[in-house]
Structure 1
């Protein structure tokens, strides 16, 4: 399968996925992936369609292959998020935390990565760290004027949710 044929088939599969024809997209992507086993973009799109279909276990090897190299920064960020979230759904909480931390190492401040990391941290019984991450994200990104008004207090208490006035 040559470059233009690959590009056309990949574009068609993405269009099918975007139009909600997930199984047709999956079949096309599996064929393209078989012909281009080392193509990061094809692997990423194949992982994505498996996730959309609820086939998380089947998505994992495609995400892992995609992260081997060759993705645009945006797709790399989304693949790290997708793999971390998929690990979490599969109950592989430690892998989820590791992957999402790796994502934040590469893309510091990404709110989606922080949110999914907080869920994985919750699943690993690191509740304080999960809450701290979410509270800081809420304080930094909320458009709610009442939340914004208390931003400094929220950020302060996020560091120690057990803080009380000692008298």
Structure 2
């Protein structure tokens, strides 16, 4: 972790900050790096967390376009897709998360992607697929019945 990662983390960890103060501090910190993908990612996240999704969207897209490391890339996709879902663009969120879910099965963020993919599917009226995705993510964490839940998840997928 670089020093500036810890600086962003400190701003996010400060629970005393209002949304406006968090945005201001992250913008000030990000300003040092200009059009840097990780700085843009944090600027987007601050707006997203404050409920300012329409301001967050172009910042997420710019960060992804410039290029993020794998850790930040998947987080940006999850957060952008969640933003799109909140903006009423559910099908775009489903496509984006479905693509990530399918292409990056070994990601350490697989369960987080699955959770937001299931939410987007449910919002799109695809409750069977949403349940299947959620159960598939849950199954490996069960102390019993992993195989049964996995089988049922596949069975109800479509």
CA deviation map 1:132-151 (0-9, x unaligned)? 11111111223xx3xx2x22
- Offset at residue 16 of structure 1 (A): 2.5
Partner of 1:119: 119
Residues 14 and 156 of structure 1, relative CA distance in 2, 3 Å threshold: closer
Change in Cα spacing, 1:154 to 1:19, as seen in structure 2 (3 Å) is same
How many pairs align? 150
Segments of 4+ in structure 1 off by > 6 A? Answer: none
Corresponding position: 1:154 with 2:154: no
Deviations along 1:5-60, whole A, 9 cap, x unmatched? xx86x865552232132422312444566676632111100011112212122111
SS in 1 for 2:65: coil
Structure whose alpha-carbon radius of gyration is higher? 1
Give the unaligned 5+ runs of structure 2.
Answer: none
* TM-score, scaled to structure 2: 0.80
Please say if 1:97 is aligned against 2:89.
no
Distance 2:42 2:126 in 1: 32
- Following TM superposition, by how much is the alpha carbon of 1:125 offset from its aligned partner in structure 2, in angstroms? 1.4
Q: CA deviation at 1:128?
A: 1.4
Q: Provide the alpha-carbon RMSD of the alignment.
A: 2.5
1:130 aligns to 2:127 (yes or no): no
TM-score, normalised to structure 1, is: 0.76
Unpaired segments of 5 or more residues in structure 1?
A: 1-6, 163-167
1:66, 1:91 → 2: CA distance? 22
1:55 to 52, 68, 77: 52
